[in-house]
Structure 1
Amino acid sequence: MPNWLLPEFIADVLPAEARKMEEIRRKVLDAFRSYGYELVVPPMLEYLESLLTGVGQDTEIYTFKLIDQLSGRTMGIRADMTTQVARIDAHLLNRNAVTRLCYAGSILHTRPSGLQGTREPLQIGAEIFGYPGIEADAEIQDLALTSLKAANITGVCLDLSHVGVLKSLIAADPLAQIFEAQLFDLLETKDMPGLTELTKGFHEDTRNALLALPDMYGDINVLKEARKVLPENGGIEKALNELEFLAGQADCGRVTIDLADMHGYHYHSGVMFAAYVPGLPNALARGGRYDHVAEAFGRSRPATGFSMDLRELARLLPAPEKRRAILAPWNNDEKCRQAIRELRKSGELVVFELPGAKSEHDEFVCDRELVCETENGNWNVKTVSKDE
């Protein structure tokens, strides 16, 4: 096998695409900072038990594992940064007040998330710790939509769901509690025959509600239907009220509700959301509340946040226009060097033409050149003619 081949679903990022990703990263981090979020940089490797604390089975499946040669303990390469940031908040910062943190970096998956996915997403996200109220969820939702706008993503549809509906239904029925894992799988795949068979023997109200959940998808009117069909229950009412509030807060083209969306059910503890754009099956951003993750780190802190993949965002955007650049000869003349310094200081892009060689660029077009005026020895910028 040629030694330049990369593993499946692992790829280099070439100059134009890398620049696009970096520009998006800067814009999104600037958006985070404008909301008061502080940047942290967790390590790529941690002991496995720390990485997998409080997360669902999916994260464990996606995590690469290896043996630490120094300690002999099993380590993992992060497949998600959220738990790491929760550890930083709970154990290192140890603040009592509300804390806003953000992050950006590569993560690694054992398998791709889709046919066109990568095993090395570039994850960027933000989290709020220490506030249990719906206002924090509204802020995170708003920040996610603002970040997508900063990345020039348009036509966003926000899909809202809430684990409180299913958890409340299961909590009210002892038999449903026994089959919680199976219920989750069946609802996730909207397997109505399997759901009909499994729920035989459940309380009638619970069974009717579970069978109705897969059809509870659509606009805000879904919540009106849910209030008619679902049993009276404090947890369900709270969940529906929170969804209604967040739907009203969403600043985007379209909002949908899906009460059977179980993505992240074992990880989240409240509202969940996903942002989609037309023509793309995968969510561009996912987020929600996860109040129990930090318990294993010694502090139970309310938490809500979101993340997205910069590679996915970059693929949606057109290739950037090439930057106009100035070609300058390699020259030790002090006037030439000073002219180049001044041009770069003013924001111009100046590329040296090395002696006897030509340069090729994907990102730049050298439409001007720096030339010496023979009369006075000064260096000036001259437009390159198309014929040259």
Structure 2
Amino acid sequence: MNDTGLLPEGFHDRLPPAADGLRRFEHAVLGVAHGYGYEQVDPPLAEFEAGLAGRLKGTRVTDAVRFVDPVSQRTLAIRPDLTAQVARIAATRMGHHPRPVRLSYAGPVLKLRASELSPRRALRQIGAELLGLDTVAAASEIVTVAVEALRAAGVTGISIDFTLPDLVATLASDLTPAVRGELIAALDAKDAGRVAAIDPAYLPLVEAAGPFATALDRLRASDPAGRLTSRLDAVAQIVATLGEDIAVTLDPTERHGFEYQTWLGFSLFAQGVLGEVGRGGSYAVCHADGAEESAVGFSLYADALLDAGLGQRERVRLFLPQDSDPAVAARLRSEGWATVAALSPGDTPEAQLCTHLLRGHDIVALD
């Protein structure tokens, strides 16, 4: 069987103009991050499995594709997530850098398995991390950069869903680990019946999810002792920095995918795109000596946006006949035109998928 044109399940080629859309998307996102002082790093696709697994948290450890390095004879792992590598760079090679350190990144990641809802195994991850601080000011900056980056990439209808990942663990510290785990799972599943059977006092957390202002009021009303005041005030301050065109919701008990997050997590959505287009929050970075460092960041999923047609533009290509003036062609390229030169007498604009033709010094649009 000739399968030279086939790809493994979960892998795909990105063709023009979609691949050009990815380039523009990355350029827009990283450009916004650069404007806020985030310098780009570029970790390798694979590294020693032991080190990478030590920094990957939650279920992401099982996502890594592993293989034996023929040179070192040690097990390597292909990254399923870039954040862990950025954290490693900040903790080791940039450990001397004054805190906080701002880093951005873009690159491919590979997952061992895919799900029915997310069948891709090879993905593109783009984001920014602020390491050494997870204060309200730091979190506000990260959320602002994420939103501005999406806007710069042409994304509209942006909405954010905030969560408080360690809220239940903090409130239920008096419960046994087994009961606390069962309660967290029931709240994450929004199973009011199971929550009521474990402890009805936690039912208001299920009912609080919804539009931010309403959810915030319900949470405050369910907390007469004020144990949540500082956390809720912090999230309210972050939301206050967002524009009125951003729809904001709050789901205080959502933990799926936020298992390694600390006091704050958020998901980003866009109009016309199925599922999340990004995710972020606060977390802890582990150093080699066992010390932990606070951090906050976000990752954007370019594949979801490009699959929805965002970032793609119509081809605009200028055909240059063989007798075209090279100086004129160079000037047009400097002005942003994509020029396609005829390499043989029979070459035509149609054959080269061109939208415009250079006729002397004039540019003519083709029907």
TM-score (norm 2): 0.89
* Aligned-partner SS, 1:263: coil
Mapped contact 1:90–1:297 kept (Cα < 8 A): no
- 2:306 is paired with a residue whose SS is helix
| Equivalence for 2:255 | 262
Give the aligned partner of residue 171 of structure 2: 169
Distance in 2, matches of 1:354 and 1:17, equals 26
Question: Are residues 28 and 318 of structure 1, via their aligned partners in 2, closer, same or farther at CA, if it must alter by over 3 Å?
Answer: closer
Q: Secondary structure at the match of 2:4?
A: coil
The match for 2:278 is 285
After superposition, residues 159-308 of structure 1 pair within 5 angstroms as: 159-171=161-173, 173-175=174-176, 177-197=177-197, 199=198, 207-219=199-211, 220-230=213-223, 232=225, 234=227, 236-251=228-243, 252-291=245-284, 293-296=285-288, 299-308=291-300
Once the two structures are superposed, residues 338-383 of structure 1 have per-residue CA deviations (whole angstroms, 9 ceiling, x without a partner) of 4433443444332121225547889952421355xxxxxxxx4463
Residue 383 of structure 1 is matched in structure 2 by 364
Q: Give the AA of the match of 2:338.
A: L
2:132 to 130, 152, 166: 130
After TM superposition, the structure 1 = structure 2 runs for residues 88-99 of structure 1, keeping only pairs within 5 Å, are 88-94=89-95, 95-99=97-101
1:309-388 aligned at under 5 Å gives the runs 309-316=301-308, 317=310, 319-329=312-322, 336-355=325-344, 358=347, 365-370=354-359, 380-381=361-362, 383=364
Q: Contact conserved, 1:323 with 1:363, CA < 8 A, in 2?
A: no
Q: 2:175 is matched by which residue type in structure 1? A: P
SS in 1 for 2:292: coil
2:150 aligned with 1:157, yes or no? Answer: no
When residues 265 and 324 of structure 1 are mapped into structure 2, their CA distance, relative to the original with a 3 A threshold, is: closer
* Distance (whole Å) between structure 2 residues aligned to residue 103 and residue 147 of structure 1: 13
Deviations 1:267-292, CA, capped at 9 Å, x for gaps: 0111111111345441111100002x
SS in 2 for 1:301: strand
CA distance in 2 between partners of 1:296 and 1:266 (Å): 22
Q: 1:196 to 1:102 in 2, by over 3 A?
A: same
Question: SS at the partner of 1:15?
Answer: coil
Aligned partners of 2:286 and 2:293 also within 8 Å: yes
**More moved, 158-167 vs 271-280:** 271-280
CA contact (8 A) 1:286 1:307 kept: yes
CA distance in 1, matches of 2:80, 2:257: 15
Quickly say closer, same or farther: Cα 1:216–1:296, change in 2 above 3 A.
Answer: farther
State how far apart, in whole Å, the 1-side matches of 2:366 and 2:303 are: 37
Task: Name the residue aligned to 2:146.
Answer: 144
| Gaps in structure 2 of 5+ consecutive residues | none
The count of corresponding residues between Structure 1 and Structure 2 is 362
Aligned to 1:13: 14
Alignment match, 2:62: 61
Consecutive unaligned residues of structure 1, counting only runs of 5 or more, are 200-206, 372-379
Q: How has the CA–CA distance of structure 1 residues 305 and 163 changed in structure 2, closer, same or farther, with 3 Å as cutoff?
A: same
Higher helix share: 1
RMSD, aligned α-carbons: 2.6
What secondary structure sits across from 1:305 in the alignment? strand
Distance 1:213 1:384, change over 3 A: closer
- CA shift, 1:188, in A, is 2.2
Counting aligned pairs with the same residue, the percent is 28
Q: Secondary structure at the match of 1:93?
A: coil
Match of 1:174, SS state, is coil
**Counterpart amino acid of residue 355 in structure 1:** S
CA distances 1:110-157 after superposition (whole Å, capped 9, x unpaired): 223553542111100001111242110010011111111111111111
| Distance of 1:217 and 1:382 partners within structure 2 | 56
The change in CA–CA distance for 1:28 and 1:257 in structure 2 (over 3 A counts) is: same
